[in-house]
Structure 1
Amino acid sequence: MAARDKVDDTHEPTAAAARGAFEAHEVEMADKQAHTPLPEQVDIAVIGGGAVGLAAAIALSRQGWDVALVGPPAGRRDGRTVALMEGSLRILDDLGVWSALAPIASPLATLTIIDDTGGLFRAPPVSFHAGELGLDAFGQNIEVASLTEALSDAADRRPGLTRVDALATRVSLGADGGEVTLATGGTLRASLLVGAEGRESLVRDAAGIDARRWSYPQTALTAILAHDRPHHDASTEFHTRQGPFTLVPMQENRSSLVWLVEPARAEQLAALDDEDFAAVVERQAQSMLGRMRVDGPRGAVPMSGLSVSRFTGERCAVIGEAAHVFPPIGAQGLNLGFRDVAALAKATGPVGSDPGAAARLASFDRARRLDVATRTAAVDALNRSLLAGFLPVDMARGLGLMALLAIGPLRRFAMRQGLGLNA
């Protein structure tokens, strides 16, 4: 990953310049779409304009398929960031997107876990270093909006990919393909429908795919903060009794925050002004980064989970949050969605026959079951173990961290799994 990390920052775009260029591009592409007729039939229709849907549409069109991407562009900047691990960076490289993102991303060279539960049994801090795997960094942290903008730009310029800037209101599936009804009144048919429209997926519901849902007594607070001390490209995750408190490095002396707390406390913290909120975060971080101040939007998201019984149905597949949702622990969510994209592109194969054939969909379903199930179970178990407050559970979690600290091969195996390199 060394080549990706060595970026000439003398020409680094400012956030304002990047936003201005993107807005100008959006005007250009909106004019182009206004003069582009809606196709009646395509090989594959991807529903959902988020990062996973965009990546899927690009990847499938690169295979030679005639693809339509249905859904309005993602919304405004909200300050959320995503830690893209090495496996995802390789996928974005393959899609030709990473070069536009590298100048504004921040490397994650070290990952540290600190037990801050206050329990009777606490493991010492455990640090994972990318150099142990021969990498300069485990991945890169970037604002979700910047990632989506780069993917949207690539999708707009991709031959064989049609953007349909409209909401899907209805999906129907049959033996010969699927049909999407649009809010604008038109319809679109495809041999394969890909649901990437999030947890309320029309494709998943039309296919009758069972979805198990659950909730956690937690709300995730998000923010971007500036601080006096350098982070040295280290991400730190404090395990507290209410959930993880994580600071992920950004460019210069800035970090993004994901803090899981009880809903009542989340309301109290969200009501604080920026100065008081930053002071609370500084104390929670044990002042490891010095004085803090809010340097971007703040957000609050209730925590929940979702898993599906299968990833495919007749003439359809579901990916991203249409297939799996869990708390933002260990940077697994969006990275898992990108692996869905890679597996789907591999299963459908290059153009030549039927992209929605049962054998191809069965191959995709097999490819995703184990990876998604193990990640979902691991994140759920870790999160619930922090909330339990039960000594045997604390001991099991602490002994696991101590084993990772003491046993090099086990630690390196865990790191490779976290990066998605063995998925």
Structure 2
Amino acid sequence: MSQSAKGQSGFRIVVAGGGFAGGVLAMALARLAPKTCHVTLVDAAAPDATRDPDGRGLALSPASKNLLNAVGLWSRLEPGAQSMDAIEITDSPLNAALRPHLLGFADELKDEGTKAWLVEAGALLGAIADEVRTEPAIDLIAPDTVQTFETDGFGATIHLASGRALRAALLVAADGKKSKLRDLAGIKCIGWSYAQMGIVATVAHERPHQGRAIQHFLPSGPFAILPLKGNRSSIVWTEDADLAKKLVEGDPDIFLAELGRRFGHRLGTISLEGPPRAFPLSFQMARAFVGDRLALVGDAAHVVHPLAGQGLNIGLRDVAALVEAITDSARLGLDIGSATALGRYQRRRRFDSAFSGAAMDGMNRLFSNDSAPLRTIRDLGMGLVDRAPGLKRFLVREAAGATGDVPRLLRGEEL
């Protein structure tokens, strides 16, 4: 390894993108492996940029909470976090007078190792930005972007839009689902559009939610009510793309009325906190998670349907696995940007990501329809699961990130 890619503080790593995955990765490397690597984070947003309020509820698995705790973020988030104390799942037509309980989880969520938490997206992004900006072990270059890069046997040379050039052992693409770095590396994706949009909104309601998350499966797609701190909930509403666009861009009173039809009356009168937003839903999976001196994390590697709220957790599993691959390779005296080191990361993450994405895709296709025979089959299946305590415990542990080949940081262990 040439000295241009390895300095006195260890291997140089450039992370492109300071969002959820990129920001947490930079913090993990800087704080948990300071002798292994020197971290540079290149982000398109200015360090002091004013962010739009983002009240989307993000579900954090216990494994993701362990990672955020390890990097020093959880203490900032915990005061505003809401525990998920129960989950209720229903399946019915939109105009059904009753939405019978088909599958629920409560006792299975009482253990600290299986309890999920809800945090607001804006709070998490704000905490990441603040910690990155004040972390002396992170060289923050912002606002700036990576324009091109080339590699050789000793490292990567990275050219920024500002004209600056950086030398590193490894470049990490955390630049989102339209990743420029993935395209520059010639890594193709498989994927498709769902012809659906995800509508997100935050509502206030009269009655307390008692930490209960509700997933209504409706013919147009899943409608999730996720509890936030106080008498507030985050809505993730999957809808036909044309109707979603009309609702979000149309009369706010009509939107609230349509929201109310789906939300129900259990929590009393509801009101919107800020305008709703909508984004197109798609499935996308990179054919490779690594390239020459390059690793993909987060949405640059995979985009899944939001129906189970697992997108963030899958991205944070990328982060934990890559940090472990880097530090373990460094301990063995290996080049952290080599095909050997990166191959371990890819083997660990691509199958898990593809499996999770396929599961979300299958569930969306199974439930996003009004077929009476299919409803009978899926309702019978959920009813059987609801009466199988052992299977329910397994499903909760799977969602908690507690099964399979789990990276040490996700288990709450040291590197």
TM-score (norm 2): 0.86
Q: Which one of the candidate residues 147, 151, 156 is aligned to 2:133?
A: 156
Is residue 2:28 matched to residue 1:59? yes
Shift of residue 305 of structure 1?
Answer: 1.3
Is residue 2:26 matched to residue 1:48? no
* 1:15-414 aligned within 5 A: 43-61=12-30, 62-64=32-34, 65-73=37-45, 75-117=51-93, 124-129=101-106, 131-132=108-109, 134-135=111-112, 138-165=115-142, 166-349=144-327, 351=330, 353=333, 354-414=335-395
**3-state SS of paired residue (2:265):** coil
Asked if structure 2 preserves the Cα contact closer than 8 Å seen for 1:133 and 1:412, the reply is no
Relative distance call for 1:173 and 1:404 in structure 2 (3 A) is: farther
Identity of aligned residues (%): 34
Relative distance call for 1:110 and 1:125 in structure 2 (3 A) is: same
Q: Distance in 2 between matches of 1:71 and 1:297?
A: 27
Relative distance call for 1:310 and 1:130 in structure 2 (3 A) is: farther
Letter in 2 for 1:72: A
Deviations 1:74-111 (A, max 9, x none): 84223322111211101100111100111111111111
Deviations 1:30-63 (A, max 9, x none): xxxxxxxxx9986111111111100111112221
Relative distance call for 1:318 and 1:250 in structure 2 (3 A) is: same
**3-state SS of paired residue (1:216):** strand
Q: Distance in 2 between matches of 1:336 and 1:136?
A: 17
Relative distance call for 1:76 and 1:404 in structure 2 (3 A) is: same
Asked if structure 1 preserves the Cα contact closer than 8 Å seen for 2:227 and 2:233, the reply is yes
Q: Which moved more, 1:271-280 or 1:179-188?
A: 271-280
Relative distance call for 1:173 and 1:392 in structure 2 (3 A) is: farther
Deviations 1:306-334 (A, max 9, x none): 00222111111101000110221111101
Letter in 1 for 2:194: Y
Q: Distance in 2 between matches of 1:226 and 1:273?
A: 19
Count of matched residue positions in the alignment of Structure 1 and Structure 2: 384
Deviations 1:241-265 (A, max 9, x none): 1111111111111101110111121
Asked if structure 1 preserves the Cα contact closer than 8 Å seen for 2:225 and 2:235, the reply is yes
**3-state SS of paired residue (2:282):** strand
Q: Distance in 1 between matches of 2:318 and 2:254?
A: 41
Shift of residue 391 of structure 1?
Answer: 4.6
Question: RMSD between aligned alpha carbons?
Answer: 2.4
Is residue 2:401 matched to residue 1:420? yes
Alignment partner, residue 28 of structure 1: none
Shift of residue 388 of structure 1?
Answer: 4.2
TM-score (norm 1): 0.85
Shift of residue 390 of structure 1?
Answer: 4.0
Q: Which moved more, 1:387-396 or 1:233-242?
A: 387-396
Q: Distance in 2 between matches of 1:175 and 1:288?
A: 62
Letter in 2 for 1:150: A
Asked if structure 2 preserves the Cα contact closer than 8 Å seen for 1:110 and 1:137, the reply is no
Any gaps of 5 or more consecutive residues in structure 2? 407-415
Q: Distance in 2 between matches of 1:72 and 1:292?
A: 37
Relative distance call for 1:130 and 1:302 in structure 2 (3 A) is: farther
Shift of residue 168 of structure 1?
Answer: 1.8
**3-state SS of paired residue (2:150):** strand
Any gaps of 5 or more consecutive residues in structure 1? 1-38
Asked if structure 2 preserves the Cα contact closer than 8 Å seen for 1:78 and 1:298, the reply is no
Letter in 1 for 2:38: D
Shift of residue 418 of structure 1?
Answer: 1.1
